[in-house]
Structure 1
Amino acid sequence: MDRAAAETATALVPGIPRDAEGAVFREPWEAQAFAMALTLHARGLFTWNEWAASLADEIKRAQASGDPDTGETYYRHWLATLEKLIAAKGIATPDTLHRYRDAWDHAADRTPHGQPIELKPEDFR
């Protein structure tokens, strides 16, 4: 992950769980979602102001639906925001995102703990 980009995002996007060294993650997928957002920002898909506003809207929707906002769901909101922006910008349709999410779940289910997850054609069936 590009450290300078991570530091910029951590400074500009409110609510990112952090410690003295920067963003912190409880699970590997949280770091991966963070890195995907950094990469898409670097490619010009959205500005950090646009990202922060979209993330704030997602968190407000979740809170209105009963999310207790304890911080444990922060990266779930991050991922939902990422998926919504990708769909809104025409990068991938919601159906494509669901297809890949299902394939990833299938691949993860068949992968032994500690091994890298690899998507295979049969994961998309």
Structure 2
Amino acid sequence: MPGRAILSAPDQPFDEPWQAQAFALTVALNEAGWLDWPDWAVAFGQARAGEGDYYADWLDTLQRLLAERGVADADTIAALAASWQRAARATPHGQPIELDNDPHRDTRLR
């Protein structure tokens, strides 16, 4: 048959940039020895037992495991997440969001 083949666009594994970042962070933490895949699989499987959003469950699992291992406690994670949200609101449209844009940033958090 003459003409071009019509190929469907590949499925995108991530709908939002934060999902790709959470995935990449998890892989990096595994490669650095902070997380191992068998423990991850059990914890993520437990989180997925409900009807939650896949990447919200992914992020919740990551935060829980980091807190359990003493890498970052839940309060620090929550404070840093809030700081990023404030930074996003304070950043002009089209500009990169940087933690330094948070007008109330705790400089001890990074």
Q: Same fold (TM over 0.5)?
A: yes
Extract unaligned runs of 5+ from structure 1: 1-18
Q: Counterparts of 1:28 and 1:74 in 2: how far apart (Å)? A: 14
Q: Counterparts of 2:44 and 2:95 in 1: how far apart (Å)? A: 32
Q: Whose Rg is larger?
A: 2
Aligned to 2:15: 26
Q: Whose RCO is larger (CA < 8 A, sep 6+)? A: 1
Q: Residue 55 of structure 1 contacts residue 77 of structure 1 at CA under 8 Å; is this kept in 2?
A: yes
Q: Provide the aligned length of Structure 1 versus Structure 2.
A: 97
For residue 110 of structure 1, report the CA deviation from its aligned partner.
1.4
User: Matches of residues 10-89 of structure 1 in structure 2 within 5 Å?
Assistant: 24-60=13-49, 63=50, 67=51, 73-89=53-69
Q: Counterparts of 1:113 and 1:28 in 2: how far apart (Å)? A: 16
Superposition TM-score, scaled by structure 1 size: 0.69
Give the % identical residues.
39
Superposition TM-score, scaled by structure 2 size: 0.78
Q: Confirm or deny that 1:124 pairs with 2:105.
A: yes
Which stretches of structure 1, 4 residues or more, deviate above 4 A after TM superposition?
none
Q: Counterparts of 1:85 and 1:76 in 2: how far apart (Å)? A: 14
Extract unaligned runs of 5+ from structure 2: 1-8
Q: Counterparts of 2:61 and 2:76 in 1: how far apart (Å)? A: 16
Aligned to 1:13: none
Q: Counterparts of 1:122 and 1:39 in 2: how far apart (Å)? A: 29
Q: Residue 104 of structure 1 contacts residue 123 of structure 1 at CA under 8 Å; is this kept in 2?
A: no
Q: Residue 107 of structure 1 contacts residue 118 of structure 1 at CA under 8 Å; is this kept in 2?
A: yes
Aligned to 1:93: 73
User: Matches of residues 99-118 of structure 1 in structure 2 within 5 Å?
Assistant: 99-118=79-98
Q: Residue 14 of structure 2 contacts residue 20 of structure 2 at CA under 8 Å; is this kept in 1?
A: yes
Q: Which has the higher helix share?
A: 1
1:113–1:24 CA distance, 2 compared to 1 (3 A): farther
